[in-house]
């Protein structure tokens, strides 16, 4: 029998990984009756105006030297920060409503840098009708930009990660891989229209965004839904010039990963109203019948794993 290491003996966050530490930090949390989904999905889901409405609540940070380099144009830094949070709203099938901007930056920063960061946020906010309702500045050694977002689903429920059943088809939007190398991670379009369409029409039984790489994110969806999966690696929609490994592990794709019941897969392909590519990449399985559904030996992006 292997005893689990107590947290105090783990030397650093790098040894635990972001997900492992978050699980430890929040495992004893108990939510009140107005919380429909808390930790473990793309957004928190809260009681809305009526039984058919939900509020979505999300915060997300980008850090200089981790999510962008000192050379990244400031406008794209702002764009990326809001885009990531919007992608999480898309991953519930929601509509974004309000955002707050918390920006920590060195006191020696040129004010024009802050202004460009704000412009990047504002441009994307306008495009997706997000109301910017407040900002806060603090002093730090490197730029840390945190966006807090409120969104909603009005008249339909948000789609959680946990709704997939064995037999459901696995789908992704767009193409995977090479996002960091190509600069797409700074300019990706959050899949809000696609997410809302999938949720409103009841197409998707489970839904999340692919932000850490399919190899990291698919196991999360499968675990939340208690299914295994078979992945058709040949069919993975790779970004031009990307290897299979890159498509699986690069991360920062910000595409949607979702499941569809078998009887709705044909209609889905017929009625998909977007120019965004739609690919069936596999199928959900009973946990016992897994043929490929193991945590891959490669892994996606994890903030604290340094290897």
The footprint of its own copies on residues 241-280 (CB under 8 A) is none
Nearer to its own copies, 174 or 190 (CB): 190
Span near its own copies by CB under 8 A; candidates 10-18, 157-165, 218-226, 266-274: 10-18
Give alpha helix (H) positions in the chain.
13-16, 18-26, 74-90, 111-127, 179-182, 192-200, 214-225, 244-249, 265-271
Nearer to its own copies, 130 or 247 (CB): 130
Least separation in angstroms between residue 89's CB and its own copies is: 13
Span near its own copies by CB under 8 A; candidates 8-16, 188-196, 250-258, 281-289: 8-16
Nearer to its own copies, 66 or 291 (CB): 66
One residue of 1, 3, 4, 11 binding its own copies per CB under 8 A: 11
User: What Cα–Cα distance (Å) separates residue 264 from each residue in 93, 187, 256, 259?
Assistant: 18, 32, 18, 10
Residue holding tokens 């107590």?
Answer: 6
One residue of 2, 65, 273, 297 binding its own copies per CB under 8 A: 65
Nearer to its own copies, 146 or 245 (CB): 146
Half-sphere exposure of residue 165: CA atoms within 13 angstroms, side-chain side = 7
Dist. CA 255–CA 60, nearest whole Å: 17
Nearer to its own copies, 39 or 291 (CB): 39
Dist. CA 128–CA 139, nearest whole Å: 30
Half-sphere exposure of residue 167: CA atoms within 13 angstroms, side-chain side = 5
Nearer to its own copies, 57 or 272 (CB): 57
Dist. CA 49–CA 59, nearest whole Å: 21
Which helix or strand (DSSP H or E) is residue 148 part of? strand 144-154
∠ CA 69-72-140, rounded to 5°: 60
Least separation in angstroms between residue 123's CB and its own copies is: 13
**Per rule CB under 8 A, is residue 52 in the interface with its own copies?**
no
Per CB under 8 A, contacts with its own copies among 87-146 are 97-98, 100-102, 104-112, 114-115, 118, 129, 131-142, 144, 146
By C-alpha distance, which of 209, 195, 98 is closest to 156? 195
One residue of 1, 2, 3, 34 binding its own copies per CB under 8 A: 34
Contact pattern for its own copies over residues 284 through 303, marking x by CB under 8 A: -------------------x
**Per rule CB under 8 A, is residue 31 in the interface with its own copies?**
yes
């Amino acid at each position: 029998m292997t005893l689990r290491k107590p947290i105090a003996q783990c030397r650093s966050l790098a040894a635990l990984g972001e997900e492992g530490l978050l699980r430890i930090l929040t495992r004893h949390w108990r939510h009140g009756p107005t919380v429909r989904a808390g930790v473990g999905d793309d957004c928190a889901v809260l009681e809305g105006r009526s039984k058919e409405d939900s509020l979505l609540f999300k915060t997300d940070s980008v850090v200089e030297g981790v999510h962008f380099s000192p050379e990244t144009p400031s406008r794209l830094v702002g764009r990326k920060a809001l885009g990531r949070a919007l992608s999480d709203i898309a991953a519930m099938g929601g509509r974004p409503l309000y955002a707050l901007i918390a920006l920590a930056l060195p006191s020696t920063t040129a004010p024009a840098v802050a202004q460009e960061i704000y412009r990047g946020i504002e441009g994307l906010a306008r495009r997706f009708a997000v109301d910017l309702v407040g900002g806060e500045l603090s002093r730090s050694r490197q730029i840390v930009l945190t966006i807090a977002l409120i969104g909603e689903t009005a008249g339909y429920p948000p789609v959680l990660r946990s709704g997939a059943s064995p037999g459901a088809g696995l789908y992704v939007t767009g193409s995977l891989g090479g996002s960091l190398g190509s600069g797409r991670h700074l300019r990706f379009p959050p899949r809000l229209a696609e997410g809302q369409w999938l949720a409103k029409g009841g197409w998707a039984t489970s839904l999340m965004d692919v932000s850490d790489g399919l190899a990291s994110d698919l196991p999360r969806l499968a675990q939340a839904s208690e299914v295994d999966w078979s992945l058709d690696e040949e069919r993975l929609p790779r970004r031009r010039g990307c290897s299979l490994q890159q498509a699986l592990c690069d991360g920062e794709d910000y595409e949607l990963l979702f499941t569809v019941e078998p009887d709705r897969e044909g209609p889905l392909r017929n009625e998909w109203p977007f120019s965004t590519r739609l690919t069936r990449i596999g199928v959900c399985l009973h946990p016992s019948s897994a043929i490929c559904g193991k945590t891959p030996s490669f892994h996606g992006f994890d903030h604290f794993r340094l290897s």
